[in-house]
Amino acid sequence: MFDTTNTPVSVSIGNPNLKPTHANSYDVLFEQYLKPLGVLQAGFFYKQISDPIYESVGQVITPQVIQQNPLLSPFPNEVLYQPVNGTNAHLYGFEIAYQQHLAFLPGLLNGFGLSANYGYTNSDTAGVALRGDRPALQRQAPNTFNFSPTYDKGHLSARLGLSYNGPYIWSYVYQNLQADPTSPTGVSQLTVPLGIKGPGGDTYLYQHTQVDAQASFRMYRGLQLTVAGLNLTNEVFGFYNGSPQYPIQREYYKPSYEFRLRYSLTAEDK
């Protein structure tokens, strides 16, 4: 597949030489059940990964590349993308979660509940083409959390959800090495303006904090009214290279709302 809308042209091909990814995973989980109804969880995880697969950084189609794959001969000096294997990677982190219905509170307050969790991950990988560092794995947000107060009592059921995903690498772009046949290692150091945090850095997904809400009320027998709102804070979605001040894409969706009446013939009147 090739895209002629870019300059130079982008060429994407498969890779029949890919090796399957293998991993050794180590997990520890602690759970404590709470009265009258709830649970507290905490866990740690560690993964050793061999031959991770990722989309390669754009590689110029040189005569040497064409010699290895003659099918690329119509695209000299264009940019080649294909999935490749890294050498190894590591991933570790922890997560905690709390969920409880606060039935011990007095009166109308005993309808409240709370669900919350937080996760932290750290990762690195080796073998990314034409770079000498160990970047984080793609699409692994270092920090994520969810916070959701709830209310369930009588005919009313309501949820408020706050979710957060920190910025993370979407695709590898940064290269600090270049092919050099005269070098004993086959590569030489490349100067990148402003370094890995500049516009030549990796492509990141912006951090995303979203607020959603939903409430339903059983009006009579099987008749139920539901009201919901998504993305109430009008959170922006997009990508940047290196640092947030170098945006490459911004998307705006606005909040969306839903009002629904539902009638069930099989519902019981409680």
Residue closest to 117 by CA, chosen among 100, 99, 97, 101: 97
User: What pLDDT, on the 0 to 100 scale, is given for residue 220?
Assistant: 81
Q: Is it the case that residue 121 has pLDDT exceeding 50?
A: yes
For residue 180, give the amino acid letter: D
Tokens of 54: 């990722």
User: What pLDDT, on the 0 to 100 scale, is given for residue 234?
Assistant: 93
Mean pLDDT, range 91-117, rounded to an integer: 95
Mean pLDDT, range 182-193, rounded to an integer: 82
pLDDT tens string 27-53: 999 999 998 889 999 999 999 999 999
Share of the chain above pLDDT 70, in %: 95
Q: Is it the case that residue 100 has pLDDT exceeding 90?
A: yes
User: What pLDDT, on the 0 to 100 scale, is given for residue 58?
Assistant: 67
User: What pLDDT, on the 0 to 100 scale, is given for residue 182?
Assistant: 79
User: What pLDDT, on the 0 to 100 scale, is given for residue 69?
Assistant: 83
More confident residue, 72 or 232: 232
User: What pLDDT, on the 0 to 100 scale, is given for residue 68?
Assistant: 81
Question: From residue 35, how far is each of 70, 99, 143 by CA, in Å?
Answer: 68, 11, 29
Q: Is it the case that residue 236 has pLDDT exceeding 60?
A: yes
pLDDT tens string 217-231: 998 878 999 999 999
Mean pLDDT, range 245-250, rounded to an integer: 94
pLDDT tens string 59-83: 778 888 888 888 888 888 888 888 8
Q: What residue segments make up the domains of the chain, in order of their start?
A: 2-263
Instruction: Label the pairing between strands 2-3 and 10-12.
Output: antiparallel
Q: What is the distance of C-alpha 71 from the center of its chain?
A: 34
Question: From residue 155, how far is each of 60, 131, 222 by CA, in Å?
Answer: 64, 60, 11
Which stretch of 12-21, 161-170, 255-264 has the lowest confidence by average pLDDT? Answer: 12-21
Mean pLDDT, range 148-169, rounded to an integer: 96
Q: In sequence order, what are the residues at sequence separation of 6 or more whose Cβ sits closer than 8 angstroms to the Cβ of residue 266?
A: 222
Confidence of residue 2 (pLDDT cuts 50, 70, 90): very low
User: What pLDDT, on the 0 to 100 scale, is given for residue 6?
Assistant: 55
Instruction: Label the pairing between strands 79-81 and 10-12.
Output: parallel
Mean pLDDT, range 11-38, rounded to an integer: 92
Q: Is it the case that residue 148 has pLDDT exceeding 80?
A: yes
Question: From residue 138, how far is each of 124, 203, 261 by CA, in Å?
Answer: 9, 10, 42
